[in-house]
Structure 1
Amino acid sequence: MSFKDHYIQLGTTQSELRIKILSELEITPKTFNIKLHADSWSAIERAKVEEITESHFNNLIYQEP
């Protein structure tokens, strides 16, 4: 499953993840959308997105109720 597929399935937590990625990569929302839909992340960006995504999912899983 691609990052785009995972991102779409997030639903209400999409904006949280997007904000983290925008901040870490220092990109605009427009650039994020282009990269998301074209899957045009550079190797460095892809590695950072994977790191942020993994951290985000771990936080969702291990969150205190």
Structure 2
Amino acid sequence: MNIKVSERDRLCKLLDEKHDELVMRFPGSWMHRHVLGEIAEIRSWLYAAVPKASASRICFRVSHWN
């Protein structure tokens, strides 16, 4: 398997897990803000790990979370 594909899949799975964690946190709480920061960091890793053409699909995938 291509390393870039497996890295993208791993990061997408991690984003899904963080989204599930975010739903359990009270909006505005410290933990909610902390998870949002983790999501932003994972997104930056994801954009660096994939070609530019795939980045728009990732944006679409996670844009409704915030």
On whether the aligned pair clears a TM of 0.5, the verdict is: no
Higher relative contact order (Cα pairs below 8 Å, separated by 6+ residues) = 2
Q: TM-score, normalised by structure 1?
A: 0.41
Whose helix fraction is larger, Structure 1's or Structure 2's? 2
Structure showing greater radius of gyration is 2
